[in-house]
Structure 1
C-alpha cells in the first residue's frame, strides 16, 4: 500500500528526516512513535507530498511527488488539527468531502455525533472537532489513513469507539499510520511499531517481535554502585540506574558478571523483570542518545 524508500525531508536547507525507509501493507496498523521534535508529523506530511524531499514514495504503486497529489485519492488524513470550516455544521463539513451520503451517515452514527452534527462547528468542543476530523479521514473507504494524535481531546468512550473503528477498517484492508503520545492506547491497536528520533528511524518491527526482543531486562544490585557505574561505562555497556538499582540488557549479563567478579564487585541481586511498553521506548531512546539513566 505504501512504500517509503530512502526519503530525506528538508525544511529550508535543514534536513529533518534522514534516509527513512519502511513499507505498509493493506490492513496494517503502524504506530509511529517518538519524542517531541522527532520528525513524526514531518514524515506524515512528506508522505502526502506537502514538504520538500528526495527519495521515493509510492502509494498503491503510484509515485508521490512534492505538490502533486494524484496518488492521494484513496488517502484519508488528520494531521495536527481537523480540517473543518467553523461556520458550517458538522454535517455540511462532511458533505464537502463525502462521495456517498450513506457512508457519511454511517460514520456520524458510529462516532455518536447525531446530537450535535447539525450545529455549527465553531461551537464544538475539542473532542467533538476531533471526532469530526476522524470522520472526514475515514470517508470514502480510504486505502490508507494517516492520523496524527487521533486520541487528542477524546474521552474514554470516544477513545474506545475510535479504536474499534480502526480495527474494523483494518479488517477490510485499510492501512493505518498513526502517531500518538498516548502509547498505552496506541499499543492496543497497532500491529507494527516505528520508532523515530532526530529524524532517524531506529526501530521498525512487528509489535510481537518488538516486545519479544525488548520486553525483558535484568535488575542488578551490587555491593558497590559507583564502581559498577565506572566499570559499565568503561566497557561501553548500556544501563539505567535508579536509586542504586541498575537495569541492563539480558545479552550483557554474562559479560557483566565476569567484569564485576574480576574487580571483586559482588552481586546482591540479579533478577529478570518485565518492562512496560512506555519504559521500553524510553530505554531505547536513552540508549540511542548514549545516556546512562532515565527517570520513570
Structure 2
C-alpha cells in the first residue's frame, strides 16, 4: 500500500492583535497518529480547521503528497474532519445515512455489518446516544476515501467503553490512513498516538518523553504515574 504524506508548515494565525499560532508545523504519514494537546483556547481546533481549509489564517503552507492545497476539503479523497459538534442529519435512519455518506458499496456493507452499528440500523440518527452517534460519525469518516483524518475532540463526554472503542477504531484503520487528533482527554490521546505535540503559548512543542507534559505545566506532577 502506498504511503501518503500531509505537511502543514509555517502556520501563523492572529486573533485581533494576539498571535494564536506561531510558525506551527506538523507532518503526518500514512500509518501515523499525531496527538495534539493544549489548554482551552490555545488554537488546537483552529489548527485542524486551517489544515482542512475552512478557517483562514495569516500564512500557511499545506501540502498532500507534495502538492499544495489552500482548501484540501474541496478535493475528494484527500482529507476528512470530525468537528466537535454533531454533523449527521438526525431525521434519517442509520442505514440511510450510511448510504448517503459513503459512495462505495463495499464500504457501506462494512459499516452496516459493524457489530456496534447492526443493532441501530433502523433507528433514526437522532435516537442514538452521544457515544453511539460519535462512534458512527468516526466510523463513516474512516470508511471514506480520505487519506487523512482530523479528529477534533473525539473522546469528549463519552463513557469509558466508547472511548475504548474509538481508540480501537483508530488503531484498526491506521494502516491505510494518517490521523491528527486533539482532545483534552490526554490519556486516550497518549494511548492512540505515535507522537505528541503540546501547544504552549502559540508554539508547537514536540514531546519526546511524556514527563515533559508535567515539566511544561500542562499536567500536574504525578498525573502520568498510572499510565
In proportion to residue count, which structure has more helix?
A: 1
Q: Out of 268, 285, 296, which is 2:217 matched to? A: 285
- Asked if residue 59 in structure 1 is aligned to residue 64 in structure 2, the reply is yes
Query: Deviation at 1:88?
Result: 1.3
Shift >6 Å, 4+ stretches: 293-296
Sort the Cα spacing of 1:189 and 1:64 in 2 relative to 1 into closer, same or farther, 3 A: same
CA RMSD in angstroms comes to 2.5
Q: Out of 25, 36, 46, which is 1:32 matched to? A: 36
Larger mean CA deviation between 24-33 and 12-21 belongs to: 12-21
Q: 2-side partners of 1:82 and 1:111: how far apart?
A: 22
Which SS does the other structure have where 2:216 is aligned?
helix
Taking structure 2 as the reference length, the TM-score comes to 0.84
Sort the Cα spacing of 1:142 and 1:182 in 2 relative to 1 into closer, same or farther, 3 A: same
Query: Deviation at 1:70?
Result: 3.7
Larger mean CA deviation between 26-35 and 5-14 belongs to: 5-14
* Correspondence list, 1:8-157, <5 A: 8-11=12-15, 15-53=19-57, 54-65=59-70, 69-71=73-75, 73-110=77-114, 112-157=116-161
Q: Out of 191, 196, 213, which is 2:194 matched to? A: 191
Equivalent residue number for residue 179 of structure 1: 182
Structure possessing the higher relative contact order (Cα contacts under 8 Å, 6 or more residues apart): 2
- In structure 2, runs of 5+ residues without a counterpart are none
- In structure 1, runs of 5+ residues without a counterpart are 216-279, 288-292
Equivalent residue number for residue 165 of structure 1: 169
Which SS does the other structure have where 2:139 is aligned?
helix
Q: 2-side partners of 1:141 and 1:91: how far apart?
A: 19
Taking structure 1 as the reference length, the TM-score comes to 0.66
Query: Deviation at 1:18?
Result: 1.5
Q: 2-side partners of 1:126 and 1:95: how far apart?
A: 21
When Rg is computed on C-alpha atoms for both structures, the one with the higher figure is 1
Sort the Cα spacing of 1:110 and 1:45 in 2 relative to 1 into closer, same or farther, 3 A: same
